[in-house]
Amino acid sequence: MSGDFADIPFAAMPDRSASADTFVPLTELPEWERFAREARTCAPQSDALDLIEAPGLVLDSSGQRHSPALMAAGEALLRARDFEAQRARLLAGEVVNVTEDRAAWHTMLRAPDAPPRVLAERERMDAWVRRADAGRRWRHVVHVGIGGSDWGVRLAVSAFGYAGTWREVRFVANIDGHAIEGGLAGLDPRETLVVLVSKSFTTAEPLENGARAREWLAAAGLDPASHLAAITARPDRARAWGVPESQIFQLWDWVGGRFSLWSAVSLSTALAVGVDVLEGLRAGAAAMDAHFAQAPLAANAPVRMALAGVANRSVLGHGSLNIAPYDSRLANLVPYIQQLDMESLGKSVDVSGQPVGVPTGPAVWGMPGTDAQHTFFQWMHQGSDGAPVDFILCREADHHWPAHHRQLLANCLAQREALMRGKTLAQARAECVAENMDPERADWLAPHRVHPGGRPNHLIVLPRLSPYSLGALLALYEHRVFTQGVIWGIDPFDQWGVEYGKVLARGIIAELDPAAAATRDTPTASHDASTHHWINRLRG
């Protein structure tokens, strides 16, 4: 292990070659056949309440298919997948990202008993923020990152700084030059801090956008170094790029980007809404970690969500999952979970390199309610496919208009009930008759009012939107994703598909350079005909 791991007691690396040799594909497990059979034949039972009290939230699975037989089949499937040992390896910091020979120890970033190196870096960042606060420095913060270096910070800042803070935080992620131009527009360079986030410090988007920000600072007659901070696992590269040592904060190789909210990646969060918010997020996530590690499987919220997710995707054939937070402050929860889920579970081969044999990760999408009701809920209710939904609401609001909150809660519960209960043809016709329609029109209109019902859903209720409850919610989804990965037998911590596109882009960038004009009419064997055509047409 590298020096970054010096004070972190990793267990011995498992023998991956041996495990691959003995790995049994999911579809060859009798436990899978039993689970799939029970999921197909178990009818939705919305009249049977199914609640789990977990740290920071209540999970209501009443809208999913559930029965003692299905739960027993799920537990047997988890045992066949050696789930408890896999979970222990995750939480102990052993190698669980098998294709990259890495741990995925994001839980250690929020653990109260984290190793000294982690605690020291946490305190160093907190102290730096407190000094900046005391000196009223950095009225503007430009957070430059992408993907996992961006979405979590956006989520936390929008959740807890929605009413504004004395610091303005802007986010620049896209390589499109309009993003950095808009991110810097109108700011006073003298009062601006640019925070660069890149684990490898080689990611194209933050480095290119960071270079433009550095030029902007220099053009204002400032020393860019004094206005730059960086979060990275390669501090040597950040130093070479021009960031001073005192403003470089450490990531580690065992922190995946989409699990990095708990690290110094949240420097901009701390500057916007305070270090206390980060402490609350970590506390809530750590409490959910303990629940995930200790709760019986039938009362384990992430496990129950994972079993429902596998049944919905791999047995019932639902191709997507809708996230419907009924709290406008959680608008950025949708892309956060979208990346967490789709980058982790968008795999079709198992750890032995063989096809999984069943559909895996769903497409994740959504929008806050009640906006969603006026956008796509028609499709949810009466479309031929529909989608499972995770409804999320807060029992208590933090504003002073209780009538608004009652309407918000009522809309959430009503939409969920309609998806579960549906409406039969007979019910629809009776409604038409009750509206004094003549029988012929009632017969014609009634089919248009039928709702199939039985749409799978979860309801997740937070007491209120606090850092603790949001931290618990995010950890709930992290562990749900991990558990689904264990069942499907895939590695949820790599992203080779993303890397392939990056490799191709590097070559095309060079070919789009006007200096490549000499090869304009030369066929390029490495490209298809259309790509070759558009490289020639779009070359500067």
Residue 527 among the catalytic residues: no
Residues 6+ apart with CB under 8 A from 257: 147, 148, 149, 199
- Give CA–CA dist 536/399, Å, rounded: 56
- Give CA–CA dist 538/540, Å, rounded: 6
Please tell me which residue in 31, 94, 343, 511 is annotated as part of the active site. 343
Question: What single string gives the DSSP state of each residue in 474-493?
Answer: HHHHHHHHHHHHHHHT--TT
Residue 361, number of CB atoms within 10 A of its CB = 22
Cis peptide before 375 (omega within 30 of 0): no
- Give CA–CA dist 139/190, Å, rounded: 9
Question: What single string gives the DSSP state of each residue in 106-175?
Answer: HHHHS-TT--HHHHHHHHHHHHHHHHHHHTT--SEEEEE--GGGTHHHHHHHHHHSTT--SSEEEEE--S
Please tell me which residue in 181, 374, 396, 404 is annotated as part of the active site. 374
Phi, psi angle pair for 187, to nearest 5°:
-85, 155
CA 514: distance to chain centroid?
39
Residue 374 among the catalytic residues: yes
CA 289: distance to chain centroid?
17
Report how far apart the first and last C-alpha atoms of the chain are (Å, whole number).
46
The beta-carbon contacts of 80-88 under 8 Å, at least 24 apart in sequence, are 80/24, 80/29, 80/31, 80/32, 81/486, 81/487, 81/489, 83/483, 83/486, 83/487, 86/486, 87/292, 87/293, 87/482, 87/483, 87/486
Surface-to-core class of residue 523, CB atoms within 10 Å of its CB (0-12 exposed, 13-18 middle, 19+ buried): exposed
3-state secondary structure of 32: helix
Surface-to-core class of residue 284, CB atoms within 10 Å of its CB (0-12 exposed, 13-18 middle, 19+ buried): buried
**Do 90 and 51 contact (CB within 8 A), yes or no?**
no
Residue 502 among the catalytic residues: yes
- Give CA–CA dist 82/461, Å, rounded: 31
Q: Which residues pair with 394 in a beta bridge?
A: 462
CA 330: distance to chain centroid?
12
Surface-to-core class of residue 9, CB atoms within 10 Å of its CB (0-12 exposed, 13-18 middle, 19+ buried): exposed
3-state secondary structure of 505: helix
- Residue type at 360? T
- Give CA–CA dist 30/10, Å, rounded: 34
- Give CA–CA dist 4/442, Å, rounded: 72
Please tell me which residue in 53, 404, 502, 533 is annotated as part of the active site. 502
Surface-to-core class of residue 112, CB atoms within 10 Å of its CB (0-12 exposed, 13-18 middle, 19+ buried): exposed
Active site residues: 343, 374, 502
